Structure 1
């Protein structure tokens, strides 16, 4: 666990979590969806590491990156058509190969019992997010779920975080963001929220280099990190 010497935390009243790469490992299902879309266009499949590197900025950006990686970049009109094709494919690949990240359910349960308000702010579509969280028994712990299609601008813009905090009746000064990528760091900074990154997600850059306030080895380390903040406070 590492952090910045320049930042002093306030113990959060609310914690917002990213979804893909933070609470869940959805890359295998997303890879299946991408390859089904590409196969329909007569294109060869991409590997799991290739697709994992494309996750984080929403389905539209995922589709754009997939076709670019297949040496078939799309025009604006072509991208819109491909995204229309992707929508039902994506919905079919939600929970078959997806798994919770280590400690996800246990950590949410511990924080919920401790009285911390919990929410999710993700670029994944709202309906898919809710279906996944329900499937893995995490939904009942969460007071706010904001998907990428619930706001005008996805992360790294701050809208999803601010809307989730509004629903949790918490200010950015009393909140914390937990994610796995530079997108989460930038969104948190824009919202005025401290940010902790978790190792083992989908970032292509080492998380220690992304400027987070703190880095944890896994979600299982998060409660102890917060206890440290409580002691320091």
Structure 2
């Protein structure tokens, strides 16, 4: 059965504001509670907590891996308290998943967000039932771009790896798809800080309205 495997942050949902708030909570201990901004740093926020902590250190002229290592658990704790305060699905996400259901296409999530946070977020947003499987950064012993989480997401949702496709927004997602040997569709929603790193995906979409046609074109119309 055909399966679309989605990244979460920056692909299905705009989580940037809540992630930036959690990172700024950490930098508040250094006297910079508003170091990162939604305007300039949303694209980096989509790459996760560590990326934001590293960016903040760069802005402060700090090359302190110890700070990132120490603050990351604090960031996750702060984020868990308000993980859906501002987060919302990108336009047409839910309608698109429903259309895939009509087409007989599975949907799954493969994210480098800790699984408990990912499960909690999707559940709070009322959409957990739409995804046959959710694999987080700690579900297995490896995470993206290792192929194992993607494969687990496909199989867990009842799909076949050879009839699957990855939808993501970062080089990590691109590398994951290439490691598995499946097509990669990348989203570009115009956030400053997005960085495909020179990756050449099989397709780029700017709206979820485009996705069903692109997926069926890559995987074929037969079941």
In structure 1, stretches of 5+ residues that fail to align are: 1-11
> How far apart in 1 are the matches of 2:222 and 2:130?
27
In structure 2, stretches of 5+ residues that fail to align are: none
> Counterparts of 1:120-135 in structure 2 under 5 Å?
120-135=109-124
Offset, 1:64: 3.0
> How far apart in 2 are the matches of 1:68 and 1:164?
35
Instruction: Tell me whether 1:102 sits opposite 2:91 in the alignment.
Output: yes
Number of residue equivalences? 220
The CA deviation string for residues 61-80 of structure 1, in whole angstroms up to 9 with x for no partner, is 4333332333233233x333
Q: CA RMSD in A?
A: 2.5
2:155 and 2:161 in contact (8 A); partners too: no
> Counterparts of 1:46-195 in structure 2 under 5 Å?
46-76=36-66, 78-195=67-184
Moved more, 48-57 or 128-137: 48-57
Moved more, 82-91 or 116-125: 82-91
2:169 and 2:196 in contact (8 A); partners too: no
Offset, 1:206: 6.3
TM-score under structure 2 length normalisation: 0.86
Instruction: Tell me whether 1:212 sits opposite 2:201 in the alignment.
Output: yes
> Counterparts of 1:11-26 in structure 2 under 5 Å?
13-26=2-15
SS in 2 for 1:170: coil
Moved more, 57-66 or 19-28: 57-66
TM-score under structure 1 length normalisation: 0.83
1:177 and 1:196 in contact (8 A); partners too: yes
